[in-house]
Structures are given as structure tokens and as C-alpha cells.
Chain A
Amino acid sequence: MLSYLLRRLAQAVLVMLVVGMGAFSLFQYAGDPVSNMLGQDASPAQRAQLHAELGLDRAAPIQFARFVGRALGGDFGLSLRQGREVSALLAERLPATLELSVVAATIATVLGIPLGVYAALRRRHWDAKLTMAVSLLGVSLPTFLIGIVLIEVFSVLLGWLPSFGRGATVQLGGWSTGLLSVDGWRHIVLPAATLAVYQLALAMRLVRAEMLEALRSDYVKFARARGLPDRVVHFGHALRNALMPVLTISGLQLGGLIAFSVITETVFAWPGMGSLFIQAVQFPDGPVLAAYLCLIALLFVAINLVVDLLYAVVDPRLRVRDAGVGVRR
């Protein structure tokens, strides 16, 4: 178990180093910081001096080491577009994205798992088939299109809900929250629903597939042969085993939410990290891209690590066998 843990940690560090190199090269291509700082009419001597002061004349590995050192302290330099600290920009936008993701994840999980179980148990009935067809629509529909349709229906036609921004926010320490006011909740409904649709459909389809697999298995057949009532077989035996992969699903979902929040935030003018990132791609703004890349990578590596470790804890087979075989996902 310990060797498995160490191996996974080493992998995670390796991934972060690779990503760090990618981010570092983004910096290198992001333009010469010296001409930005000194302007057009600086003398070559001044340039050379600043170059040396900034350490830009050193070898690439040394510069990379300095970059990693600064990045560990959260220092990614100044945004090319806004001229402000990248870390400050990200920090003030983090709460908006996290609140949106958490609300969407709650919707997706609370609805997705029961619907998946239902669709598996009533596999041959028309209502389960209809649910599956609708979920296919949910997986196929591009996120931005769902957002547009929701805006058209609920904001333009019905005029029930606002379609952009976070509404009134309350400051709690350094955290601005929209979840403490009615206005904030009214603003989060449409973007969170948009973000949840894909995850909901995906969770439902995965739970259904796992459930069907479990229902076909021998232990379910034997449980039936023992004369156990359907309810016990379905929820005591099948669902318990089908929910194992839900761990992975939840991990994947978090990742998917971050990815799709980029789109949702653009559609709803939600002031989160995703819209900051899109602006950085459009401009293009190297330091912001690099910082976002590192932040997202850290998040994903952490999620994958936690999911893998939970797997090792939950699945006894992985504990007994040499865990180094790797966890199938």
C-alpha cells in the first residue's frame, strides 16, 4: 500500500513537472518582458542590464528552476492584457467558478444517480427508453447551445430569470459569495443548470451501464435464487456494487465541470476563472495561460490521486494484490 502511494505521488509530481515545462515555454514565447518594461526607446546597455537583473541571460534550466520556485509561491508575474498580478486576478475570480461548479455538481449527482438506477431497472419499458433518449440528447447537445436555449426560453420569452452576471454578492473575508442572497440564487440557476445537463446525462448513463452489468452478474442471480425480494437484490446487492465506479464518475465530473465552466461562463458572462482564461486565449496572454494551466493541472492531478487512493481503499482486491499493477479506470 505504501509503495503504491509513493509511486502514485511520484507520478503526480512528474505530471506537474511536465505541465510546468509547458507553462514555462508559454512564458518564453509570451514576448520579451524587457521591452515591455523599458518601452521602445531604451538603449541597448539598459536592456542588457535589465536582462541580467531579471536573470534572462542565464541558461534555460536555471531559468526554469527559478520559474518553478516562483510558481510554488503563487507568483506568475503580470498579466500582459491587464497589467495586474496574475495570482490576484485568479484569486478574485475563483469563488465565482467554485460556487457555480458545486451547485451544478449537486444537481447532477442528486438527479443523475437515481435516474440511472431507474433506467436500468425498467430497461424494457418505454419511460426508461425515453429517459435514455433524452440523456443522449443531453450528451450530444453542445453546452453553449443549451445555455442559449435556456436564455431564450427563461430570460427572453418568459422573463423569469436573469441571464448574465452573478447578481448581488456578499463579501465574507476574501470570498465573494452569491449564495447568500435571493438575487444571487436567481442568477446562478440558469448557468448551473446549463453546466449540469451534460454531467447529469453522463452520470445517468454510466450508472445505468454499471447497474445493468451488476444485474447480469452471478451474485445477483444467486441472490434471486435464494428468494430475496427484488428490493433487496436491486439496492442491497446490485446498486452497492454499481456505485463503486461512481467514485471515478465524481472525480471525472469535477474535471468536466471545470472544463465546461469555461463555456458556461462565456455564455452567461459569469465573472469566473473560465472567462478569464478565454480572454487569455483570445488576446493571447501568456502569463495568465501559464498560471491557469498550472492551477488546472494541480487540481486534476489532485483529483486523480484522491480517486485512485479511494479506489485502493474501497476495492479489497487492490489491497491484497501487488497494487503496482495499476488501477483500471
Chain B
Amino acid sequence: MLTTIIESLRTRFPQSVLEVNEFRGETTVRVRKDDIVPVCTFLRDDPAASFDYCSDVCGADAYTPEERFQVIYNLYSMTHRHRIRLKVSVDESHPHCPSVTAVWPGAEWPERETYDMFGVVFDGHPDLRRMYMPEDFAYHPLRKDFPMMGIPDSIPLPRK
């Protein structure tokens, strides 16, 4: 089932699908960053795929010279009961990624969380604020260069 979806994805977007991986029965498709919104729209609307449920959007810090941030989309289909994972790469110098909130409104908070934790800016997001950390916090805690113990004085404490 998923192979036919990936085939139709490849014929429809020959430039966008960069790599297809399979591990433990799960399929991961690497997609070019700029095409993520059309690819997601296609996957949602195509009757054979119909990924109508956006399980999760999250980030990861690859922290290699070739690649810095990843944005990962875990998708699920209510009708066909299958899953797929999309992955895009985001540069360190220009950490911007198109938002998929127009495709799945439920991606709004997970994208805010990714922005909060990794500093990836989602273009087109209706309300891109920090999810957990205070608004004036200057760092993004889940980046690999953020120390586990935190940075002293990064959060002002109330006066005694």
C-alpha cells in the first residue's frame, strides 16, 4: 500500500522526494523543504493515501557539518490505518520552514513547540509564540549546543 503511495508521490513530485528509508516496518520519506506543503496537501487529499490525521510534528538537531535541524512529521490515516513519516532538513544559517497548519490545523501547537525548542521559524504559522519557555528566553533548549544544566542567569528570578 505504502509503496504505491510513494510511487505516485515520486511521479507527482519527481524533484521533491529525496530518499525513502524503511526501518522496523516504518517508512520515512525525506522531502525537499520548499515542497513540504504541496506534498502534505497531496498526501492528505489523495484517496489512496488520505493522511488526514497529523499525529505529531517535531524537530531534531542532527548536529553534523552537512545537516543541522530536521523537522519530522508523523502522519496517520483514519481511513486506511497506516502511517508514514516525512522529514525535511533545515539549515542553521536560515532556520525557516514552511508551516503545514493550513493542511492540518492540529499542527499549530507542535510547530510552536518545535520553534520553542529548536528555533526553527515556521513561515505562515498563525501564532508563532513559544510554547513552554518564557517569551524573553534567549535560547532554544533542545539544541545540542545548549547545556543540559542550563545557562546561568538566562531566566531572571524574582527579587528576594
Q: Do A and B come from one complex?
A: no
- Give B contacts to A, CB under 8 Å: none
